[in-house]
Structure 1
Amino acid sequence: MLAETIFSAASAAGLGIAAVTAYRKRFLAATRIAAYSLVPLGLVMTGVVEWVSDIAFKPSVWLGFGLLGLAWLLLVTTRATERRRSTTREERKAARAAGHTAVAPAASAPPLTSGTPADRPRSKPAKGQAAAPGDDFSDIEAILKKHGL
């Protein structure tokens, strides 16, 4: 009830300002002010103000918004987790249909070697060595194959 009164008073004040503006021969501005001042009155007459005030002051409505936010958060988290996996949903379905289980990304990594640094494989050629022509794009190709492109 209080919100409706405030909105109606704001609308009446806006129409008064529009009348003064029209009196000063600024008809375009007066029309614009009148249009803006009729919006609160229209909201009151359609019942939108009562509906919004009912929503704003009910704890059960806020609990509902909290549950919607929680549901959204859970959906986003599961999507992000699914995208971080190395295999896509279609690849996992195809693997299950073929009777194989999906391989975890860590299981497909090469085994770590222990020993001297000379025993470990190098990712970059040494200073004096030139890279093989195919090595320049091998990292990029591996990334593209990982994403199925």
Structure 2
Amino acid sequence: MLAETVCSAVSAAGLGVAAVTAYRKRFLSAFRIAAYSLVPIGLVMTGVVGWLADTAFSPTAWAGFGVLGLAWVLFATTRAVERRGGGTRKERRAARAAAGRDAVAPAVSEPSLGRGSTQAARPQSAPPRSKGAGDDFSDIEAILKKHGI
């Protein structure tokens, strides 16, 4: 009975604030405040507030919440152990076997360098840069001289 009275008072106060807000020509805010203030009285009318009040003071309900909390702790613990690598021996063996296998298509992620290129062939196929490096510097020197630097 007390919870219903409090919810009704909160709704009435909210509707009063909405009326003052509408008087100040802020209609959008007034409608939003009115909507929020009607929620508590709606909960009273549907019986949710009475159910919550009965639940809050029931030892059986609190014991039920305790059991649900224990279940949640057990689920979280098993999940944490599973993530750390725990589990059955078969699962661990299967994970090790899957980790040891090569990729299905290892060459797919490599860039296309031509036919038959491998990791070892890449450094040898690169041309020496000493010849081209001098040309690059001469171009830079020409540009700097042109600008008087």
Matches within 5 A, 1:87-126: 89=88, 91=90
Runs of 4+ aligned residues of structure 1 deviating over 3 Å after TM superposition are: 78-86, 145-148
CA positional deviation for 1:81: 3.5
Partner amino acid, structure 1, of 2:57: F
Determine what percentage of the aligned residue pairs are the same residue: 66
Change (3 A) 1:81 1:5: same
Q: Give the TM-score normalised by structure 1.
A: 0.55
Q: Give the TM-score normalised by structure 2.
A: 0.55
Aligned length: 99
CA positional deviation for 1:79: 4.0
Match of 2:65 in 1: 65
Matches within 5 A, 1:126-137: none
CA positional deviation for 1:72: 2.3
Match of 2:98 in 1: 148
Q: Which structure is larger by alpha-carbon Rg, 1 or 2? A: 2
Match of 1:23 in 2: 23
CA positional deviation for 1:80: 3.5
Q: Which runs of 5+ in 2 are unaligned?
A: 100-149
Q: Higher helix fraction: Structure 1 or Structure 2?
A: 2
Q: Which runs of 5+ in 1 are unaligned?
A: 96-144
CA RMSD of aligned residues (A): 2.9
Change (3 A) 1:32 1:26: same
Change (3 A) 1:2 1:78: same
